[in-house]
Chain A
């Protein structure tokens, strides 16, 4: 008898707890909706999430299955260069890697954004002001060579990192139109060209 009443109690309590969770989420969405405004180029719609952003917005990562589903979906967004040329000018690439500007409400235009690479990655031998949120990319090309597989993987990773790790911290530089195709080519050269300071001391 005691057991039954315990089960009944649980059955009554559980939907109530779920409902409370859903209520809090609805209230949360309403709070976000009324808390932001458009300023400059940063329009208010930026707070409305894409599905994968929502899936990656809690303390815990989504299930492996969900991660794999997101990765497969993101993989489809990657556009490889139409002319088949992957490597641009590493000197231009270095400038893009250093530049962390772009897309905030104090930036004037959505063009000529920086890659902000040094915010999170070590890259060249000489730049000591680098962040540590991402892995070190020092001697990236020297360690990996520039075979077709490496080149295509690197392009894909810069273009849309979520294709390889659903909840990666790294922005989708190509897919989200943060960088242009030409800028990505220049970054590719910065990483892979043997003459680039990433690879040459």
Chain B
């Protein structure tokens, strides 16, 4: 924990030196985050469960996830989330953290992805994925958002994610951009980040997954996006589906250079 704060403090000092408006707003975000963490981040409990799950031999193949490759090599967790989503050679596709964890659980442990995809949030194996997510993202806290956009599949997912961002449909004609396409707007009292901009995307992408104080739940990015689509009055996105990954690529690429403050804390 103290180590994390040192990194954050370093970021703080850099911001002071550069003195730009964007940096000062990031400083505000960091200061606010540190303040919230004064009493500890409730996600720590979920992350601790995740760490145990990572190391426990489970599933039909009675294996742990310690050989799981999140992109930086088997078993490397530190900083891995800040570089996701990414293109994975072995699966031949772009994956976010949750779809990648499902690949590892299937290949290493023999746990069927279907039980997770067809499951419910905060229940069963999907809840276990969430705990693993809490563990993994904690290990990218304070890291720079740095997705690798060189692979053509990443570029394509970015383009399709951007299309999905502006895609208006359903009985209320809403898109993501309806609420997140202008600066300084809010719904009721809730501030809305402008996700088209680096600053807004960094604030949004960089602070999820998060612990939600209002309902005491830890929400992954899949969970967050699922509820966005619900409120858009669109049909439900399938867990780990390409639209959720494409949107994640669009957000992470737009947020590039920002700071991961994960797990976040939300109202």
- Chain B associates with chain A: yes
The 5 closest A-B pairs by CB, nearest first: A35-B241, A35-B243, A39-B236, A171-B172, A36-B235
Q: Which residues of B contact A42 (CB under 8 A)?
A: 230, 233-236
Q: Which residues of B contact A31 (CB under 8 A)?
A: 160, 164, 242-243, 246
Q: Which of B159, B167, B188, B231 counts the most chain A CB atoms within 10 A?
A: B188
Q: Which residues of A contact B189 (CB under 8 A)?
A: 129
Q: Which residues of A contact B243 (CB under 8 A)?
A: 31-32, 35-36
Q: Which residue of A lies closest to B240 (CB)?
A: A35
Q: On chain A, which size bracket covers the interface?
A: 35 or more
**CB pairs A–B below 8 angstroms (27 shown):** A24-B160, A28-B163, A31-B164, A35-B237, A36-B241, A38-B236, A42-B234, A42-B235, A47-B169, A47-B170, A49-B167, A49-B168, A53-B168, A53-B169, A54-B168, A57-B166, A57-B167, A59-B196, A105-B235, A130-B188, A131-B187, A132-B184, A133-B178, A133-B179, A133-B182, A133-B192, A176-B172
Does B262 count as interface, using CB distance less than 8 angstroms?
no
Q: Which residues of B contact A56 (CB under 8 A)?
A: 168, 173
Does A157 count as interface, using CB distance less than 8 angstroms?
no
Also in contact, A119 and B235, with CB within 8 A (given A25-B163, A49-B168, A104-B230)? no
Interface residues of A in 6-55 (CB under 8 A from B): 24-25, 27-28, 31-32, 34-39, 42-49, 53-54
Q: How many A-B residue pairs have CB under 8 A?
A: 126
Main secondary structure of the interface of A (DSSP, over half): loop
Q: Which residue of B lies closest to A27 (CB)?
A: B160
Interface residues of B in 181-195 (CB under 8 A from A): 182, 184-190, 192
Does A109 count as interface, using CB distance less than 8 angstroms?
no
Q: How far is the CA of A27 from the CA of B243 in the complex (A)?
A: 11
Q: B238 to A35, Cβ gap below 8 A?
A: yes
Also in contact, A131 and B186, with CB within 8 A (given A32-B243, A35-B242, A36-B243)? yes
User: What 1/0 mask marks residues of chain B from 215 to 246 whose CB sits below 8 Å from any chain A CB?
Assistant: 00000000000000011011111100111101
Q: Which residue of A lies closest to B232 (CB)?
A: A104
